[in-house]
Amino acid sequence: MITIPYLTALTTYFSYGLLFAFGQIRDLFRKILDWWSADNLQGYAPICLGLEDFYIRRLYLRIQDCFGRPIASAPDAWIDVVERYSNDNNKTLKRTTNINRCLNLGSYNYLGFAASDEYCTPRVFRSLETFSASTCSTCVDGGTTVLHNELEECVAKFVGKPAAVVFGMGYVTNSAILPVLIGKGGLIISDSLNHNSIVNGARGSGATIRVFLHNTPSHLEEVLREQIAEGQPRTHRPWKKIIVVVEGIYSMEGELCKLPEIIAVCKKYKAYTYLDEAHSIGAVGKTGRGVCELLGVDTADVDIMMGTFTKSFGSCGGYIAGSKELIQYLKYTCPAHLYATSISPPAAQQIISAIKVILGEDGSSRGAQKLARIRENSNFFRSELQKMGFEVLGDNDSPIMPIMLYNPAKIPAFSRECLKQNVAIVTVAFPATPLLLARARICISAAHTKEDLIKALEVISQVGDLVGIKYFPAEPKKQQEEDGRLKLD
């Protein structure tokens, strides 16, 4: 639940209204101009109809330079951001050879495995030599090497489940697994802010989809009761099965899932739970085992555990962990296992080595230090930001902290001003967030030093004053402000 001040809501609506109006006027002129030039479609319908790409043409392109900035280094604590310029009002951006060394507050490099690592990197090189970069085959044919088997065992042991299966891409893990588990006559109850991969997986499954209020176990219970009592739409047959899908840490909110409460509700109503730990695995918990460890949930209570390796492990791919039978069944029928190239061996080795470091199996305490560091860094940074009066979302311990911007004009302003002072921060707008709730998102890493964080805080504070996004008064009196605010889901 985000509360937005009335005045801000008004100005944000006004800004979008203005942008829309100007966009329409420009479209009108474009239409008139195109009318004179020859029709080059020749009987084809246009590739984008009507307003489908209006947002891209008239809003996104204006601030295109704030997104997709290329970098020329590993996504470590400091990155080399490549300068770009545009000769046509931001329509196209050209790369230059100039490079800005910036502090990286954007990458999901939670444990600092993105850069070369004394333990992981030599092993990755060795696996590259032994197994090459790709197997050119699917897991079920000739794409399973000893490395892949080791990886699956390693992951299963790490997350605390009997078995696991690994895929080469996190997105595909969600979108190809859900249709295997549930189909017509089944019900998927999904958190309203779940990731797009879950949404697409649910759509692809053919099951009925219901949504519950973001991270609200009481509403989940309400939905479950209503749905079990009503049964399937029209026929009122009882549901075949119900799967509740939640995420460990929500990537755009930085919030931790209320897992214990949600598990209790699911158990009571015999629904299966599907936990997506894309951002939490490796990043939180005493030994990096994710939200289950952090919140004291027994992994046996979660039926399907999903996660990705792109974030904390500095690699690529995703996994599903569950009972032996579940994994056997998935390996038998999941299209991503049957038809997709198996994960690249060096990437697999990177994951194995990273897990070993986290568990201290490399013979050092670096893993424990990394975990302690990310926790310290995140909590320090969050509390400092809050003290300055920014509207910061999310919970303690979570390495993701969004700062609310709201107004569309503040998105590029914040992003560009920070970059000028060599701090690279991600700004997020539609389609990743609702139109009104644009934000800047900071991802803290264990690779950041205290000095890095202090520098970042100075810059953010200064830019925050300039752009006017300190929606709360600095420190002491905060409560009074809360009343005059409009509630927005």
Partner 1 sequence: MALSFLNIMNISLDWAFDAPPSRAVVFGVHIGGHLVVEALLVIVIVFLLLQKSYKPPKRPLTEKEIDELCEEWVPEPLIPPITEEMKYEPPILESAARPHTVVNGKEVVNFSAANYLGLIGHKKLLESCTGALEKYGVGSCGPRNFYGTIDVHLDCETRIAKFLGTPDSILYSYGISTMFSAIPAFCKKGDIIVVDEGVHWAIQNGLQLSRSTIVYFKHNDMESLESTLEKITRENKRAKNVRRYIVVEAIYQNSGQIVPLDVIIRLKEKYHFRVLLDETNSFGVLGASGRGLTEHCGVPVEKIDIITAAMGNALATEGGFCTGSVRVADHQRLSGSGYVFSASLPPYLASAAITAIDLLEENPDLITRLKENIAILWRGLSGTQGLSIASNPLSPLVFLKLKKSTGSFKNDLQLFEDIADRMLREDSVFVVASKRSTLDKCRLPAGIRLFVSAGHSEEDLLKASESLKRAASAVLSGYN
Chain positions 331 to 370 lying near partner 1, rule: CB under 8 A, are 331-336, 338-341, 344-347, 350
Report the residue from 20, 329, 380, 472 that binds partner 1 according to the rule CB under 8 A.
Answer: 329
Q: Which alpha helices (DSSP H) does 242-290 contain, by range?
A: 259-268
The runs of H, that is alpha helices, within 182-258 are 196-205, 217-230
Q: Does 163 bind partner 1 (CB under 8 A)?
A: no
State in angstroms the smallest separation of the CB of 199 from partner 1.
9
Contacting residue, 12, 175, 190, 208, with partner 1 by CB under 8 A: 175
Q: What is the crossing angle of helices 217-230 and 259-268, to 10°? A: 20
**Among residues 455, 303, 293, 300, which one has the least CA distance to residue 375?**
293
The correct pick among 32, 40, 68, 235 for binding partner 1 (CB under 8 A) is 68
Residue among 173 and 215 whose Cβ is closer to partner 1: 173
Cβ atoms 444, 374 nearer than 8 A: yes
Q: Which is nearer to partner 1, 97 or 480 (CB)?
A: 97
Query: The tokens of 224 are what?
Result: 């479950």
Per CB under 8 A, which of residues 442..471 are in contact with partner 1?
none
The tokens describing 94, both together, are 């050209």
- Among the listed ranges 11-19, 20-28, 178-186, 285-293, the one in contact with partner 1 (CB under 8 A) is 178-186
Intra-chain end-to-end CA distance of the chain, in Å: 5
435 binding partner 1? (CB under 8 A): no
Measured from the Cβ of residue 296, the count of other Cβ atoms closer than 10 Å reads: 10
Toward partner 1, which CB reaches closer, 176 or 392?
Answer: 176
285 lies in the site for partner 1, by CB under 8 A: no
State in angstroms the smallest separation of the CB of 52 from partner 1. Answer: 7
The reply on whether position 82 binds partner 1 by CB under 8 A is yes
Q: Are 454 and 409 in contact (CB under 8 A)?
A: no
Closest by CA position to 246, among listed 304, 299, 171, 325: 304
Q: Tell how strand 272-276 and strand 242-247 pair up.
A: parallel
Among 65, 76, 255, 391, binds partner 1 (CB under 8 A): 76
* Residue closer to partner 1 (CB basis): 196 or 462: 196
Residues 85-144 that bind partner 1 (CB under 8 A): 95, 104, 106-109, 113-116, 120-121, 124-125, 128-137, 139-144
The footprint of partner 1 on this chain (CB under 8 A) covers a number of residues equal to 124
Q: Which of residues 187-206 bind partner 1 (CB under 8 A)?
A: 195-197, 200, 203-204
How far is residue 53's CA from residue 68's CA, in Å, rounded to a whole number?
18
Residues 234-273 that bind partner 1 (CB under 8 A): 238-242, 269-272
Judged by beta carbon, residue 114 or residue 463, the one nearer partner 1 is 114
CB of 3 to partner 1, least distance (A): 26
| Residue that has been written with the tokens 């490099």 in this structure | 109
Select the residue interacting with partner 1 from 70, 296, 360, 484 (CB under 8 A).
70
Q: Which two tokens stand for residue 350?
A: 């990177």
Contact mark string toward partner 1, 286..325, x via CB under 8 A: -----------------xx---xxxx-xxxx--------x
Torsion of CA 126, 130, 131, 132, to 10 degrees: 70
- Min separation Cβ 7 and partner 1, Å: 29
The smaller minimum CB distance to partner 1, of residues 4 and 159, is found at: 159
Residue 60 or 380: which CB sits closer to partner 1? 60
Residue 401 near residue 393, CB atoms below 8 Å: yes
Residue (of 206, 179, 184, 207) closest to 334 by Cα position = 179
- The span from the CA of 458 to the CA of 44, in Å, is 54
* Residue whose tokens read 């080469």: 168
DSSP letter (8 states) at residue 1:
-
Binding residues among 406-425 for partner 1 as defined by CB under 8 A: 424
- 86, 149, 192, 449: which one contacts partner 1 (CB under 8 A)? 149
Least gap, CB of 474 to partner 1 (angstroms): 29
CA–CA distance from 91 to each of 204, 248, 270 (Å)?
Answer: 34, 38, 53
